[in-house]
Amino acid sequence: MNVLMNHPGIGKAASPAGEADLAELKEQFRSEPYRSYLYSYPHKTSYRELDTKLSLSELWSGEPAETFFLYMHIPFCGARCGFCNLFTLPDKRSSVHEQYVDALERQARQWAPHVTRRPFARFAIGGGTPTLLAPALLARLFDIAEQIMGVDVEQASISVETSPETVTEDRLAVLRERRVDRISMGIQSFVESEAAAIYRPQKPREVERALELLKRESFPVLNLDLIYGLPGQSVASWLYSLERALAYEPEEIFLYPLYTREHTIVKPLDRLREHGDDPRLACYQAARDRLIAAGYVQSSMRRFARPAPLDTGKILLPYGCQEEGMVGLGCGARSYTRGVHYASRYAVSKSATASIIADYVAAESHDTADYGIVLSLAEQKRRFVLKAILHCEGLELSAYRDRFGSEAAADHPELAQLLQAGLASVAEGIFRLNEEGLAYSDAIGDWLITPEIRRRMEGYVVA
């Protein structure tokens, strides 16, 4: 048994599982490491119509977070990629974009009195592809953030998502002017046939053009997204894409294992597991080794960053990821208070997405939340643990105790099982997954979903 099991708060509550059970648990994670991406807990498919509508003042007046995070969602793309199940619509029409930004401005005006009690430590514009918007509309998003929501661009860390074909000089000029710190671009693969196989019509030449432009503008942080496990991809071709990305010396790289679902164009690939181990695991390990050799520091299964200190010339507000209030503007954006997570309805199909966006654009009033989930104390505790252990910083046991007045180990006996299975350790009061545990983040995260949330997720029908 792991000697660290004796750490106060962990060992005491350990209900020693049999060795056979622990070996089986580990084998379960190893044989199926990619079960679900818990980008946020509880997953949005657990949201439902709320029993009673909640007003914004009820939701936000008692929110204890010291800083807020403003997120704007732009649910449009040039085309829908075959693997993507994000809330987005292929629509390039500027009139459609303009009506959407009008609605977002209306929503901001109604929300601002309730959610500007605290400074915004972070502001992000995501999607979809926000840079599909024309430069003047993009600039309007920043006007809304600054003039209506009160974001101080000298203090907030600002991040914007983009895609290669929408990177143009005039759009980047807007982002530079508005003090954007981080640009995150999806590339997925530098191999044309691999991009084609996931229905992402993207020429490597186009990607390189965008990267050269981004490098010239030198934003403080450039992040690039790559996907492994693509149809037709080998470990060698995956590493080729990684090398191409590294040639541009991005400050951050996100490595995503490919997820396919029944309702995406690219269907689940049964071939992946026909021959033993999931081939994504070999891609992950090869890329991880390469990035660490190149001096990147791993902060989660997906995120790697160069350790160079970030000097943006800003006076950054301290923000604790654990405790932030998330204010989501736009259709498809989620908002998180400590006790309630809410959003607009979610869809993937073109017709359902279009109809949800049309309702949003037509709505006069945005002053209540009617769709989401009320987090019980048990779910708040589970969320706290999940957010912490799926990142390299780990779970600070005293922070858990301070927040909930109870011991993490007693509330979550699974932590002791992870220790006993040799997938985690405790040092200086911090519970952390080790290298192997981190590689199984998507299996461990899935395993930690409570039965109540799983029941809701399984009952969800994707429109």
Ligand X SMILES: C[S@@+](CC[C@H](N)C(=O)[O-])C[C@H]1O[C@@H](n2cnc3c(N)ncnc32)[C@H](O)[C@@H]1O
Which residues are near ligand SF4 by CB under 6 A? 77, 80-81, 84, 86, 88, 127-129, 163, 186
| 287 binds ligand X per the rule CB under 6 A | no
Task: Supply the angle between the helices 169-177 and 204-217 in degrees, to the nearest 10.
Answer: 30
| 11 binds ligand X per the rule CB under 6 A | no
Q: Which is nearer to ligand SF4, 53 or 263 (CB)?
A: 263
Q: Pick from 415, 409, 400: which is nearest to 447 by CA?
A: 415
Q: Is 18 helix (H, G, I), strand (E, B) or coil?
A: coil
* Region binding ligand X by CB under 6 A among candidate stretches 140-148, 254-262, 433-441, 453-461: 254-262
Q: Which does 80 bind (CB under 5 to 8 A by kind): ligand SF4, ligand X, none?
A: ligand SF4
Q: Which is nearer to ligand SF4, 63 or 161 (CB)?
A: 161
Q: Which is nearer to ligand SF4, 84 or 144 (CB)?
A: 84
Among 172, 253, 258, 369, binds ligand X (CB under 6 A): 258
| Residue 293 backbone phi and psi in degrees, to 5 | -65, -30
Q: Which is nearer to ligand SF4, 88 or 157 (CB)?
A: 88
| 241 binds ligand X per the rule CB under 6 A | no
Among 29, 60, 76, 259, binds ligand X (CB under 6 A): 259
Cβ-in-10-Å burial (0-12, 13-18, 19+) of 213 comes to: middle
> Which residues have C-beta within 8 Å of that of residue 405, sequence separation ≥ 6?
none
Q: Which is nearer to ligand SF4, 88 or 441 (CB)?
A: 88
Among 2, 67, 107, 129, binds ligand X (CB under 6 A): 129
| 183 binds ligand X per the rule CB under 6 A | no
CB 342, CB 49: distance < 8 Å:
no
Q: How far is the CB of 82 from ligand SF4 (least distance, A)?
A: 9
In the region spanning residues 204 to 233, those forming contacts with ligand X, defined by CB under 6 A, are: 225, 227
In the block, residue with structure tokens 């994670």: 29
> Which residues have C-beta within 8 Å of that of residue 395, sequence separation ≥ 6?
384, 385, 388, 389, 408, 415, 430, 431, 432
Q: How far is the CB of 223 from ligand SF4 (least distance, A)?
A: 14
Q: CA 143 from chain center: how many Å?
A: 25
Q: CA 90 from chain center: how many Å?
A: 21
Pairwise CA distance, residues 50 & 313, whole Å: 43
Chain position whose Cβ is nearest to ligand X: 186
| 379 binds ligand X per the rule CB under 6 A | no
In the block, residue with structure tokens 């708040």: 380
Q: How far is the CB of 128 from ligand SF4 (least distance, A)?
A: 5
E runs forming strands in 109-266: 120-127, 157-162, 182-188, 221-228, 252-257
> Which residues have C-beta within 8 Å of that of residue 241, sequence separation ≥ 6?
187, 189, 190, 191, 194, 226
| 441 binds ligand X per the rule CB under 6 A | no
Q: How far is the CB of 137 from ligand X (least distance, A)?
A: 17
Q: Which does 371 bind (CB under 5 to 8 A by kind): ligand X, ligand SF4, none?
A: none
Q: Which is nearer to ligand X, 85 or 99 (CB)?
A: 85
Q: Which is nearer to ligand SF4, 77 or 424 (CB)?
A: 77
| Residue 105 backbone phi and psi in degrees, to 5 | -65, -40
**DSSP tag of 271:** G
| 86 binds ligand X per the rule CB under 6 A | yes
| 127 binds ligand X per the rule CB under 6 A | yes
**What are the DSSP calls for 319-331, one per residue?**
--GGG-EEEEEST
Q: Which does 256 bind (CB under 5 to 8 A by kind): ligand SF4, ligand X, none?
A: ligand X
Contact residues toward ligand X (CB under 6 A) are: 77, 83-86, 126-127, 129, 161, 163, 185-186, 188, 225, 227, 256, 258-259
